[in-house]
Amino acid sequence: GSKPDSAKTENGKKNGPLIAIIVAAIILIVVTPLVVFGVGLYKLNWEDKYTMQVAETLPYPAAIAGSQIVSFSEWKESIDTLKHFFDKQEEYGMITPDQRPLDEEIEKDELDRLIKKQILIKDAKSRGITVTQEEIDKKFDEEILPQAQNGIEDVETTLDDLYGWTVDDFKKFVIEEMIYREKLAEELNEELDTMTKASADEVLQKALSGEDFGQLAAQYGEDGTAATGGDLGTFEEGVMVPEFDEAVFKNAPVGEVYPELVKTQFGYHIMKVEEIIEPEGEDGVRQASAKHILISTNIDKYLDDQIEDIKIFKFVTE
């Protein structure tokens, strides 16, 4: 049996092939299961504890957007949270089973949301925007905590019950992104305003050219009135924000689309006053019934534009 000894001769010069074989074996042992795990995660929907531990240790991508990766474990955690949330909504009778989104919809929407989140954070960081733990804690303490009657216990109970989250989870998944959004929106203020105004102007031109106002509101409106064709109902003078109020009660032709955009803190409004009701007594207040289409200044449009220019690979949803 001289063969084993020959590997030791000449100060290990002949060990090269052996090392190569060991390395190859390690690659085979380590990498092949990874390939199998990949198939397991993507094709077979393995979700056992062991598989998820591997997914968390090795950053399997659920999607790649440009240079950004959405990890499988983050996506999985995110959809589990939402499914838990809808389970609870059903349990409490807040929604009926047929109002619950399908699992496939949740999975697709969450992947899209996480892609957008990655693009948001990358864009923000490229502009030197950072978010510190102090800022996250401060926002939680100032904006979330005061909403809870019994303080932190209420928040903990609600988060755990509805989402299966801790307060730290909530800070990580929600508040951090909120602050990035706010800071980027501030940075992009003029750019966002220009984009929003251009979008609103396109809708205004459609309305002025005689397209159905209610249908335009349903298609383009970005507030709760979109569902009712932009209907604001009847309201008294002095109730709406000043710029809107003035346009309605002082400038607008009745029964026609107002020929200009009305800018408020909410964004740009396309507006149509249906009727002005004069008061009956001397102390009465004028009323109006009107419709509007709100095109809001929001960072999602900007992010959607960014996403359109990026090559995206999705590995987990159709």
293 vs 144 pLDDT, higher one = 293
Residues in the chain: 318
Question: In DSSP terms, which residues pair with 71 in a beta bridge?
Answer: 61
- What is the pLDDT averaged over residues 101-124? 91
Task: State the average pLDDT for the chain.
Answer: 81
- What is the pLDDT averaged over residues 138-161? 82
Note the CATH number of domain 192-303: 3.10.50
From the list 245, 247, 246, 243, the residue with the least C-alpha distance to 258 is: 247
Cα-to-chain-centroid distance, residue 62: 17
Domain locations in the chain as residue ranges: 3-57, 70-190, 192-303
Contacts of 138 (CB under 8 A, 6+ apart): none
Report how far apart the first and last C-alpha atoms of the chain are (Å, whole number).
59
- Same topology for domains 70-190 and 192-303, yes or no? no
Per-residue pLDDT of 250-297, as tens digits, reads 988 999 999 999 998 888 999 999 999 998 888 889 999 999 999 988
Determine which of 34-38, 87-91, 156-160 has the lowest per-residue pLDDT on average. 34-38
pTM surpassing 0.75? no
Per-residue pLDDT of 26-65, as tens digits, reads 444 343 333 333 333 444 444 455 445 655 555 678 999 9
Largest CA distance in the chain: 118
The residue behind tokens 């960081």 is: 125
- What is the pLDDT averaged over residues 77-83? 88
DSSP H helical segments within the chain, as ranges? 3-6, 15-42, 49-57, 72-91, 103-126, 133-139, 152-163, 167-170, 176-187, 189-208, 213-220, 242-246, 299-308
Q: Is the pLDDT of residue 12 over 80?
A: no
CATH class of 70-190: mainly alpha
